[in-house]
Amino acid sequence: MCGMSRTTVQPSRRILSRIGIAFLLLAALELAWLHVLAPLENRLSDLFVRQQAQSLQPDADIVIVDIDDTSLARMQDIAGNWPWPRAVHGELVRGIAAQQPKAIVFDILFSERDEYRPDSDAAFNEALQGLDNVYFPMVRQAMDEQGAPLSEVSGMLGLQRTDHADDGARIAVLPPLALDPQHWRVGTINFAEDPDGVGRRYQLYTEAYGWLVPSLPARVAKDSGYDVPQRPDMILAWRGMPGAFKHIPYVDLYEDFSRQRPQRAVDELKGKIVIIGTAATSLHDMRTTPISSLHPGMEILATAIDGLKNGRSMQRADEGFALGLAAALLSLLTLAFLRGINALKVGLALAAVTLLVLLGSYLAVASLYLLPVLSPLLLAWAGYFAFALHEYLRERRSREQAVQMFSRFVNPHVVKELVAHGGLSRAGESREITILFSDIRGFTTLSEKRTPQQVVELLNRYFTLQVEVVFRHGGSLDKFIGDCIMAFWGAPLDDPEHARHAVEAALEMGEVLQRFKKELGEEDADFDVGIGIHSGPAVVGLIGSDQRREYTAIGDTVNLGSRIEGLTKGVSRILVSRETMQACGDAFEFKSYGSFKVKGREQDVELFAPTRKGEQLE
């Protein structure tokens, strides 16, 4: 748009700087404290994790014995309704143990004794005799003051003592009371949900008064010789969708163990970690995870054991990464807008950066890193739209100012076209133009016959008529100099035929003058004008002080145009220079009036009077 003064630019830069600072503060507040965007961040991470997991296979040495819907139906005649007698599980354990698995892990709570079938509990305990690789879950409860002394149960529960352990504290847990304490190889299975209700982590150890309570996966992994990180939890590194682990229906394995001639491989479970759990619909052991909204609990347990066995867990970048990324993006946006880079180009660049950052985050998931990039990107886009809105409003104000300014100089149609073409550059420019000066003759006599108010009204009426002619022929009104009109063609919009249009305007101005003189009457017959026209290079632009600028033309071409107008008196109403005549081509007929001395020029200036073809010069 049209050039802006320093007083306009500086406030705009200050506003842009303030927008940048405001969004940097907002980013710090959001990423360090509010976390309003955290649910969206988690959803994006979940999507990437799910996409990556689909192409992976879980550890083949982890096998799930599934109490599925088929098992519940087919075991009806053998064991009755769920829950089955514990002796059934004892028979299954004997069969599995015979194949020498690495571990047998129950994902079923045995927290109450079977008061109606105590012999069944006894049979289960008998089946566990001599086995040191069978594990059971327990649940940490809330009311520790009603629990057992930690110093008494720590050995039975496998608790780890730390330097600040409180021996007098109590802990409330729900162990497998249906089993003899000698079989309590236990760990917690408390499902750790994030605030949005999605389980992405699995507890490793729960700290209780200086004692570490192991989770079931941590207990199994540690006893199996795998490294277990000494931290509260791990972010699960998922492999495969639900059902990806090898599943064996409980009933198939149970029935095969009962056959005299087993149909399944006798070493099917040798060296495996066998997890016994349920995916049956009616037993409701389902959780929400990044992989599925209905993820069987035993598969979550299997994933945790898989991660510990293979040293696979996700690592999340700390808050400093997200804050650093947000600060970098917002700083670059601020700098780009301060430097006046086009908002569309900035938006395209930000879109490209967004795609690259998202791609980097997706690839990082494959390397087990979670990079929180969505919140910084959303903050950057919010900042971009704030910057762009400011620039749009500033641009609109600038356009409105341009329309207001140039409506004084050119007709409204030219103003619209000027605005559509982006307006003017801030600096002036050299252009080929045609300049026109029109001065009133006999103005002094006219003024003597009228009051000042009448003179002003007359001049306003005359100037209005003549300016309409200038505008009609595509000219730009430069200014009024007393009773003189200064106009030019060829700026602000390009006009290859600026000379012809200027001469056409001059001829019509003469016709309008004749009609205006008729309105004045015979007493003002001396009222006349002189019009001088010259074509050549001039500097055109907004010229003036910081407080006031005018769109005008300056240079030798302007000066000569003014001199030519002064030579019209007693010669011809309209005089044009040779340069203007030649630029008009054969559009008009010209009568030469010879050469004239012009102040400030060494060479004489040859002048011509134009007429329309076929018309006689007055």
Encoding tokens for residue 45?
């991470």
pLDDT tens track for 299-329: 999 999 999 999 999 999 988 999 999 999 9
**pLDDT above 50 (res 482):** yes
Respond yes or no on whether the N-terminal peptide bond of residue 610 is cis (omega within 30° of 0). no
Determine the pLDDT at residue 517. Answer: 86
Superfamily for the 410-611 domain: Nucleotide cyclase, GGDEF domain (3.30.70.1230)
d(CA 43, CA 89): 40
Strands 605-611 and 589-596: antiparallel
Q: Percent of the chain at pLDDT above 90? A: 78
**pLDDT above 80 (res 459):** yes
Distances (CA, A) of 62 to 95, 136, 304, 368: 17, 16, 11, 21
**pLDDT above 50 (res 3):** no
Determine the pLDDT at residue 416. Answer: 62
Place of tokens 């801030």: 426
pLDDT tens track for 186-200: 999 977 899 999 999
Contacts of 1 (CB under 8 A, 6+ apart): 395, 398, 399, 401, 402, 419, 422, 423, 424
Mean pLDDT score across all residues of the chain:
91
Q: Tell me the domain boundaries of the chain.
A: 6-34+317-403, 56-314, 410-611
Work out the angle at residue 46's Cα, subtended by the Cα atoms of residues 43 and 48, and round it to the nearest 5 degrees: 115
pLDDT tens track for 246-303: 999 999 999 999 999 999 999 999 999 999 999 999 998 999 999 999 999 999 999 9
pLDDT tens track for 512-552: 999 998 888 777 777 889 999 999 999 998 887 767 777 88
- Cβ count within 10 A of residue 514: 10
